[in-house]
Amino acid sequence: MTVSGAGHRGLGLWAAALAAYAFLYLPLLIVIAYSFNDSRLNAEWVGFTWHWYDVLLHDADMLAAAGNSLLIATVSSLAATVLGTMAGIAMHRYKIKALTFMAMAPVAMPEILLGVSLLLFFIQILNLTLGMLSIVLAHITFSIGFVAIVVRTSLAGLDDSLFEEARDCGASPWKTFRHITFPLIMPGVVAGGLMAFTLSLDDFVITFFTAGVGVSTLPLHIYSMIKIAVTPEVNAVSTLLMLLTLTMIVLAARIAPNVLRWKT
Amino acid sequence: MALLELKNVTRRFGSFTAVDNASLGIEAGEFFTLLGPSGCGKTTILRMIAGFDLPDAGQILLDGKDLADTPPEQRPVRTVFQSYALFPHMTVAQNISFPLTMARLPQNEICQRTQETLKHMRLADKADKYPRELSGGQQQRVALGRALVSRPRVLLLDEPLAALDAKLREEMQIELINLQREVGITFVFVTHAQDEALALSHHIAVMRDGRVEQVDEPSKLYGFPKSRFVADFIGHINMLDAQVLEAAHGHTRLAITGLGEITAPPVAGISAGAKGAFAIRPEQVRIGIHGEVAELKNHFPGEVRNLLYSGDVTVYKVQLAGGSMLEALLPNSAPGRAEFFEVGDAVRVGWRHDAGVFLHE
């Protein structure tokens, strides 16, 4: 956004924007700062150290939990992207209210409800041993709706005659999807997949219910750590999580420009 | 046999009948227009020819073969949409070559035909631009190029000029006429603008409420409308309530309500006593103070009530003795004809015995 030389009004807007950004980012900055603090307490700044990252790298439980989280996030976001994209296209094309409702319900439903119902479903209906598989299935379930919303929104912004024109040009329905629909909704698909990834990465409640005993994820592990005490190791792992998320966003922005170029 | 034929085509959406038992014959190489107000079913017909929609009843035949089981991508028919529907993520050249790629033509032929079309459409210097970087007229040429590159039998155009401003629209009209003549492909054009239809078409089908009211050449349609609706929809026309006094072989005598007797051109299939309207175009109505109007077969006294001067012509609204109003249009170019009447002038209006048309109800 550009700021015109509108004098006082411009200044006021800048101040408000600054305050809003400070509110959002100051806590994050503090977490980052204290991950480098040479003290066991998150109370005062003592000095700079890499110590907590060193601790982190030698914490086998933490590394295992992180590995689980990444694996679950990757698998569940990929699956949710495929299914959610299909759902989004169907919602756009058929305009059946029940369809939309069914895809969206897990988004609006309280997480605790979804967690409990999935737990019962896995144990009593599927007779499944809780673990990685149950977590992945649960994450796919709540991610589909988010991807579907984003995909449907990007479809709604397109002229429907584009798809008819493609058919007119001799493209079969599948070729129309490959050459026209998919490239045009690509930004939405990428954004939806990214959302699914981050949602999976930081989900606590649903994971808590569907994880069982043997498997832990990063949020579950961090929670179990702070039950004892908030050590700066938690700050360090949070900082790394932030870094990962940020990298994902930058990555998506680098993939997207080719597709985003036509968008004004 | 007509190239494209619609036989008793009906299409319903719920309780609404969009196209009602429509039959049309479109000849090879002609510029055919579907004209009518919005909601008259003209776009639905176009979509059924393209294959995006299917008739509930009736047939659409191309070269005598029913198209019902042919999906849109296999019909030798191309559509230019009102929005142009240019693929925003492709360059001009990619847009134009898309149908050729889909047809799996060899790469060198795709290249050659794309280049030809780019040149033909005067877009050679725009080949690598994206659609959003082009003006409205250029975008339209891309859409036309993309439609023509695959050499279809029929080109369907859905109000392609509606989005353009008046000046550009006239230019594009001339381009369309020339293009159609050059490529010799059958054009089926949909519009609600009667002036556009008259200017472009070889034949026009006037539609109303899903039905085809009249199919004719532009001049026939304008000169000899067959219904009140067509007469009113195409151009301006005066309408006077009338009853047939005598239906003779060479002429018709009519009684105009509140005015008197006139002689009108003959109408087939009516007899004395039939009621309807006498319709006459403003430019066929003569107006004068002195004798020349009185020499015409039909003439009546009246008084100028309004006049609209618009440069090239002036429209006079004359109130006749019976109370009805009549519009007369006089060109301001012809010397000796450009009499300027004033509001309140007592004048005589008249018209030739072969002017106007009786519309039976």
pLDDT tens, position by position, A38-65: 887 777 788 888 888 988 888 888 889 9
Over 90: is that where the pLDDT of A15 sits?
Answer: yes
What average pLDDT score do residues A200-220 get? 89
Give me the CATH number covering residue A104: 1.10.3720.10
CATH architecture of B236-360: Beta Barrel (2.40)
Query: Which of chain B's residues have a Cβ under 8 Å away from the Cβ of A184?
Result: 88-89
Residues of A in contact with B160 (CB under 8 A): none
Q: Minimal Cα–Cα distance from A160 to chain B, Å?
A: 8
pLDDT at A259: 40
Phi, psi of B256 (to 5 degrees): -85, 130
Which residues of chain B are modeled with pLDDT < 70? 291, 334-339
Return the pLDDT at A71.
95
Of B71, B82, B89, the CB nearest to A262: B89
Residue A79 burial (C-beta neighbours within 10 Å; 0-12, 13-18, 19+): middle
Supply φ then ψ for residue B314, to 5 degrees: -125, 135
Higher pLDDT, A8 or B259: B259
Nearest by Cα to B322 from B272, B260, B252, B232: B260
* Alpha-carbon distance B103 to nearest alpha carbon in chain A (angstroms): 7
Which token pair is B35? Answer: 């004209």
CA-to-CA dists, residue A47 to A27, A29, A44, A69, angstroms: 19, 16, 9, 31
Return the residue of A nearest to B130 by Cα.
Answer: A262
A164/B52 touch (CB, cutoff 8 Å), yes or no: yes
Contacts of B10 (CB under 8 A, 6+ apart): B17, B19, B20, B21, B22, B55, B56, B57, B58
- Confidence tier at A261 by pLDDT (50, 70, 90): very low
Query: CA Rg, chain A, in Å?
Result: 22
Domain B4-229 is of which CATH architecture?
Answer: 3-Layer(aba) Sandwich (3.40)
Q: Looking at beta carbons, which residues of chain A come within 8 Å of B146?
A: 169
Count of A–B CB contacts within 8 Å? 64
A264: nearest CA in chain B? B132
Task: Give the whole-angstrom CA distance, residue B307 versus residue B316.
Answer: 4
Q: Which residues in chain B have Cβ-Cβ distances shorter than 8 Å to A171?
A: 73, 98, 102
> Strand B298-309 vs strand B313-320: parallel, antiparallel, or unpaired?
antiparallel
Q: Give the closest residue to B282 by CA, choosing from B252, B239, B230.
A: B239
Average pLDDT, integer, range A153-162:
89
Q: What is the dihedral of CA A175, A176, A180, A184, to 10 degrees?
A: -110
d(CA B115, CA B113): 5
Question: In angstroms, what separates the C-alpha of B212 from chain A's closest C-alpha?
Answer: 26
A-chain residues near B154 (CB < 8 A): none
| Residue B322, C-beta contacts closer than 8 angstroms, at least 6 positions apart | B256, B257, B258, B259, B260
CB contact under 8 A, B81 and A169: no
Structural contact between residues B92 and B118, judged by C-beta atoms closer than 8 angstroms:
yes
Question: B35 phi and psi, to 5 degrees?
Answer: -120, 140
- Which residue in the set A172, A259, A262 is minimally distant from B130, CB to CB? A262
Q: Which of A167, A171, A183 sits opposite B89 (nearest CB)?
A: A183
Query: Into how many domains does chain A fold?
Result: 1
Chain A residues within an 8 Å CB radius of B147: 168
pLDDT value at A3 more than 70: no
> Minimal Cα distance from A180: which residue of B?
B87
- 3-state class (DSSP) for residue B301: strand
pLDDT averaged over every residue in chain A: 85
| Chain-chain contact of B146 with A183 (C-beta, under 8 angstroms) | no
**Does any domain span residue A205?**
yes
Asked if B146 reaches chain A (Cβ–Cβ under 8 Å), the answer is yes
pLDDT of A230 above 80: no
Residue of B77, B79, B87 with shortest CB distance to A180: B87
Range A127-154 average pLDDT: 90
Do residues B147 and B160 lie in contact, with contact meaning Cβ atoms separated by under 8 Å? Answer: no
pLDDT at site B215: 96
B107 touches chain A (CB under 8 A): no
Beta bridge partners of B17: B12
Say yes or no for a CB contact (<8 Å) between B81 and A161: yes
Under an 8 A CB cutoff, do A169 and B150 touch?
yes
pLDDT (0 to 100) of residue A245: 80
Task: In whole angstroms, give the CA distance from residue A121 to residue A103.
Answer: 18
**Could you say which DSSP state residue A48 is in?**
B
* Contact with chain A for residue B104, Cβ under 8 A: no
pLDDT of residue A11: 87
Residue B71 touches chain A, beta carbons under 8 Å: yes
The reported pLDDT for the residue numbered A6 is 52
Residue B332 pLDDT:
81
**Smallest CA–CA separation between B170 and chain A, in Å?**
25
Q: What single letter denotes the amino acid at residue B125?
A: D
What integer pLDDT is reported at residue A150 of this predicted model?
87
pLDDT grade, residue A1 (50/70/90)?
A: very low
Instruction: Return the C-alpha torsion angle B72, B75, B81, B84, nearest 10.
Output: 100
In the beta sheet, which residues pair with residue B212? Answer: B207
B17, B144, B154 from B150: Cα distances, Å: 34, 11, 11
Query: What is the extent of the structural domain holding A171?
Result: 50-255
Among chain A, residues having any CB pair with chain B shorter than 8 Å are: 159, 161-162, 164-172, 175, 179-180, 183-184, 259, 261-262, 264
Q: Write the residue in A159, A171, A183 that is nearest to B83 by C-beta.
A: A159
Residue B235 half-sphere exposure toward CB, CA atoms < 13 A: 22
For A184, which residue in chain B has the nearest alpha carbon? B89
Where does CATH 3.40.50.300 sit in chain B?
Answer: 4-229
Of B200 and A252, the structure prediction assigns the larger pLDDT to B200
| Residue A103's pLDDT band (cuts 50, 70, 90) | confident
Nearest to B316 by CA among B296, B295, B293: B293
Q: Nearest-CA residue of chain B relative to A165?
A: B85
- Predicted confidence at residue A262, as pLDDT, reads 41
Q: Are A200 and A211 in contact (CB under 8 A)?
A: no
As a residue count, chain A comes to 264
DSSP-assigned letters across all residues of A82-121: HHHHHHHHHHHHH--HHHHHHHHHHHHS-HHHHHHHHHHI
ipTM of the complex: 0.77
Chain A, nearest residue to B155 by Cα: A168
Question: What's at A62, amino acid-wise?
Answer: M
Taking the complete model, does pTM exceed 0.90, yes or no?
A: no
CATH 2.40.50.100 intervals, chain B: 236-360
Question: CB-CB: which of A165, A171, A172 is closest to B85?
Answer: A165
How far is residue A90's CA from residue A85's CA, in Å, rounded to a whole number?
9
Tokens of residue A197, six digits:
């990834």
| Residues in B touching A183 (Cβ below 8 Å) | 89
Residue B76, min C-alpha distance to chain A (Å)? 9
- B130 in reach of chain A (CB within 8 A): yes
Whose CA is closest to B268, among B280, B256, B255, B251?
A: B251
Q: Is the Cβ pair A167, B71 closer than 8 Å?
A: yes
